[in-house]
Chain A
C-alpha cells in the first residue's frame, strides 16, 4: 500500500472514543509494519550498508561446459571434412549436423544443454550465458571437388528457456569465430528452476546431412537469483 491517508480526525472536544483512536493510530502502525515500499520511502533512504547482502540475493552459481564431446545422438564429427582426402591435417570438427535427431534438418530450436536449480526463491533471475562458437561458413568450408554435397552460409540464434518458457532469443549470429555473452533478467516464482540452452539453426538447404554446421567451443552459464 503506497500511501495511508487520515482515516479519522482526532480533535479537541471530541469524546475520547477508543475505537476512533485505534482506527486513526492503526493507519500509522499498518504503514510502518507492512506498508513501507518504494512509494513512501524517500529515494536513497536505504543505503547499501544498511542491508545485509543475504537479504538481497539468494544464490549465484556458475556452470561450465567444455568442448564438444562426440555424441552420436546429437553432436557428431564432420564426415566430409574429416575425410583424409579433404583434410590431410586430419583436423576434427565436432558439432551440430543436420542429420542428428534433435536438429532434424534445422529450422527449429534444439535445446541441448540444461542446468537444474533446486532452491530458487521468488524474485528476479538473471542468467548470463557466455558462449564461444564456430560457424563453418561457405567461404572457409566448402565441399570438395567432385563431391555431391554443397554448403551454404550459416547463422544461428541462441535461445534460453526457463521452466519451459523462452525468456531470451538472440539476434542472428553470423560471426564465424565468436564469443558472445547473453544476459536476461526476469521474475521467477519460488521452486525448482530448469535453465535450458538452445540453438535455432538455419533450415537445411542444399547442405549435406553429415557436415558440421555449428560447433561449440565452450561456454559458461551463470544464474543469479535475487530474492524479493
Chain B
C-alpha cells in the first residue's frame, strides 16, 4: 500500500520520560544492553551462578548479601571476592569452592544504613562499616585492626632497689667479684674495668637515679602507635657494694616487664626512656617481634637515640565508627561516623594507622549535613555530604585545605559514587543522578544533573533506603548500573542504567543487593533473595554471589523437594516502548500503515508488536500483531540451532534486516508501539509509514 509519509529513527537513543521527547528517544527501554559496534540494544545477558557446578553459592549462610568488594593482587593471580552476609565478612576460596571467614559478629546494616565501604591503601584493602564492626585492613591471609584503637599500656619497670636484698645486695648487672681476680696462669694483678660499663645510674655513691619509660608498637605498615603513659618513676640510690677485693660503685640495668603486646600485624615495639633524672623521652631500643614481654635495659644515657615523637603525632584511632573511606595523596581519609558525623580525619602519609591529634577537618561549620562519602578524583578529594559537596586539596607535606564546592546537592548513597572513564564522577543524589567532571588539575569542576530523561523514576524512590543503593561502572558492558529501591519495595528492585553513549534504560528482575567488578571485569553481584533452596518447585531462590554474564537467564528457581538442582528461571523479559509520535502536527488524524523494526537477524524466535494511540497505554485502544520471526522476509531462512544439519548448512552471520509489522488502520493524533519479548533480539531502530487524512480533532467537549 502506498503511504505518503514516513518517519525514521534509525539509531535509537534512550529512555525519555518527559515532554516533548527527543526524536530518537523512547518511553521504555527495559532489560536491554547497548552494543556500540552495531549501535543496537540487545538482550544477550543475564545472571549465572558463581560456581556453575554448585547450588547457589554459598548455601550457608543465608540472607541478603550486604556488601561486596573485589580485591586483587599479584597482577590478578590472587583475587579476594569479599562479601558480607549473615553477620560475617568472608571471601571466596576458589580452590575449595568455598569461603574463608574474615570477621564474625558483624551487625548487619539496617535498611537505611550504607553497606560496608572499601578502599585500597598500598597492599591493604581497608574496610569500614559505620560502627557495625571494628574497621580493619586486610592484605590476604590476615585481618588486622585499622589504627591503634587504644593508647598503649605502659610496662612495669623494676627499680634495682626492689630486689636488691633478694639478689644478695647486688645489682641486676654488675661486675661480680669472682671475675676481679686474676685467672690462673695469668700474669699480673686483676681489677676489672667494670666501672666503665655504660649502664644506668651514676657512679657517685649516695646520689639518686630516676628514670621513666614509655613504649609504643610499630606495625608492618610502618605505623607507630600512640606512646604509652609513662611508667611510675623508678628511683634508686647508688650504693657502695662490698666485694672481697675492693668496694665498688656500679651502674646497673633495669628490668621491664609486662611490655605491651600489640594487635595482629605488630612488627616490633619501641622503648623510650628518660635520661637520668630527666623529663624528656628518647629512643632507647626496639624489641623485635610481638611476643616478648620482658626487656633488660642497659643502654647508657649517652647511647640513647632521638627524641621521642610528640604525643600528638599518633593518637588512638579517632574514627572507630567511620562509615566511608578513601585514599588520597598517600593518606587515608575517614569520616567520623555517627559519633563525629561532620568530621573528616586523615592519616599520616603512607601510614594508614597513624592519625595525628590535629589531622582532621570539621565541615559542620556550614550547612549541608553529615559526611556521607569520600572519593578521590584527579587531584582533589570530593567530600560528599547529605546536602552539599566540599573538596579537599593540597598534600600532606604542605597541608590539606577544604573548600566548599556546592550547596544543596549531595548524596546519601556512598556505594553509588563511581567514576566513569573520560566522563567524571557519577553518583546518586536525593532527586536524581549527578555527574562531576573536570580537568586533571581540577581547576574547574562542573556538576550537572544527568538523569533528566528518567527523573520521573525518582519520584517513586524510597528515600529512606538511599544509603543502601549500589552502583558500579561495568567496564566491558560500558554502562553504569545503579540499583535503587522504588515503590516501597525494601529490595533494590530497579536498576537504572547509564550507557556509554549517554542514554538511559532500566533493568528489572535481577534482585541485586550489592555489586563489584572483579579483576577480570566481571560484574559480581550479591543476591538479595538469600534463600538457597526450597521444597516448593518453582520458588525463586538465590543466595550469595551471582555473576552478570552472557547467559540469558534472569535468576533461579527451586528444582523441588529441596534436593534437586535449581533451574534457570529463563531469560529476562525485555520491553521496548516507542515515544509518542505526533508526526509534526497532532491535530490532524494519521493512519499508520507499517512499522519497520531495524533488527539484526537472530532466528526463529517470535516477536509480537502492540500499538497504541492518543497517549493511552491501556489495552483498550491497542492492537497486537501476529507473532513474527526475526528472519529476512524476502530471503530463505538462515539455518538455526535445532534444525541446521551439520555438514550441509553453512555457518551464518547476523544480518541487518527490516521486519515489517502491518498496523490495522485507524485514525489517531499520536501513535506509539511496544514489544515485549524474552527472545533474543538485537534492535537498532525503526521506521513508521503512514497516511495523513484531512480529518482533524473534533471540537472540545462542552462543560
**Which A residues, 1 to 34, have Cβ-Cβ distances below 8 Å to chain B?**
1-21, 24
Is B306 at the interface (CB under 8 A from chain A)? no
Contact A16 B551 (CB under 8 A): no
Considering the chains assembled together, what is the distance between the CA atoms of A85 and B190 in angstroms? 12
Which A residues are in CB contact (< 8 Å) with B633? none
Which A residues are in CB contact (< 8 Å) with B621? none
Question: Out of B188, B640, B641, B679, which one reaches A145, CB within 8 Å?
Answer: B188
Considering the chains assembled together, what is the distance between the CA atoms of A143 and B175 in angstroms? 13
Interface residues of A (CB under 8 A from B): 1-21, 24, 37-43, 85-86, 88-89, 138-139, 142-146, 150-153, 171-172, 203, 205-206
Task: Give B292's nearest chain A residue, CB to CB.
Answer: A171
Contact A41 B603 (CB under 8 A): no
Which B residues are in CB contact (< 8 Å) with A37? 77
Which A residues are in CB contact (< 8 Å) with B584? none
Contact A11 B641 (CB under 8 A): yes
Task: Give A203's nearest chain B residue, CB to CB.
Answer: B303
Other than the known A3-B94, A9-B553, A145-B191, what 6 A-B pairs have Cβ atoms closer than 8 Å?
A: A8-B44, A14-B641, A15-B602, A15-B638, A142-B179, A150-B196
Which B residues are in CB contact (< 8 Å) with A171? 288-289
Considering the chains assembled together, what is the distance between the CA atoms of A209 and B452 in angstroms? 83
Is B514 at the interface (CB under 8 A from chain A)? no
Contact B520 A9 (CB under 8 A): no
Which B residues are in CB contact (< 8 Å) with A150? 193, 196
Nearest Cβ on chain B to A153's Cβ, whole angstroms: 8
- Assuming the contacts A5-B549, A38-B94, A42-B95, asked whether A13 and B604 have C-beta atoms less than 8 A apart, the reply is yes
Contact A144 B303 (CB under 8 A): no
Considering the chains assembled together, what is the distance between the CA atoms of A109 and B680 in angstroms? 70
Most buried by B among A6, A89, A153: A6
Is B240 at the interface (CB under 8 A from chain A)? no
Which B residues are in CB contact (< 8 Å) with A9? 44, 46, 550-553, 680
Contact B653 A19 (CB under 8 A): yes
Contact B196 A144 (CB under 8 A): no
Contact A6 B551 (CB under 8 A): yes
Is B692 at the interface (CB under 8 A from chain A)? no
Which B residues are in CB contact (< 8 Å) with A4? 520
The 8 A CB mask of B184-205 against A (1 = contact, 0 = none) is 0111111111001110000000
Considering the chains assembled together, what is the distance between the CA atoms of A17 and B639 in angstroms? 9
Is B456 at the interface (CB under 8 A from chain A)? no
Contact A18 B95 (CB under 8 A): no
Task: Give B185's nearest chain A residue, CB to CB.
Answer: A88
Contact B519 A2 (CB under 8 A): yes
Q: Which of B132-140, B536-544, B644-652 contacts A (4 or more CB under 8 A)?
A: B644-652
Task: Give A187's nearest chain B residue, CB to CB.
Answer: B74
Contact A21 B651 (CB under 8 A): yes
Most buried by A among B190, B298, B651: B651
Question: Out of B182, B553, B603, which one reaches A13, CB within 8 Å?
Answer: B603
Which A residues are in CB contact (< 8 Å) with B639? 15-16
Contact A39 B188 (CB under 8 A): no
Contact A18 B186 (CB under 8 A): no
Is B398 at the interface (CB under 8 A from chain A)? no
Question: Out of A8, A12, A38, which one reaches B642, CB within 8 Å?
Answer: A12
Question: Out of A40, A85, A205, which one reaches B303, CB within 8 Å?
Answer: A205
Contact B603 A15 (CB under 8 A): yes
Contact A13 B198 (CB under 8 A): no
In order of increasing CB-CB distance, the 4 nearest A-B pairs are A39-B94, A18-B651, A150-B193, A5-B549
Nearest Cβ on chain A to B681's Cβ, whole angstroms: 11
Which A residues are in CB contact (< 8 Å) with B604? 13
Nearest Cβ on chain A to B84's Cβ, whole angstroms: 21
**Which B residues, 374 to 401, have Cβ-Cβ distances below 8 Å to chain A?**
none
Q: 16 A-B residue contacts at CB 8 Å?
A: A2-B518, A3-B518, A5-B547, A5-B549, A6-B48, A6-B550, A9-B46, A13-B642, A15-B641, A20-B654, A86-B186, A142-B193, A143-B193, A145-B189, A153-B298, A206-B198
Nearest Cβ on chain A to B650's Cβ, whole angstroms: 8
Nearest Cβ on chain A to B32's Cβ, whole angstroms: 15
Task: Give A20's nearest chain B residue, CB to CB.
Answer: B654
The 8 A CB mask of B38-79 against A (1 = contact, 0 = none) is 000000101010000000000000000000000000001111
Task: Give B182's nearest chain A residue, CB to CB.
Answer: A145
Which B residues are in CB contact (< 8 Å) with A7? 549-550
Is B605 at the interface (CB under 8 A from chain A)? yes
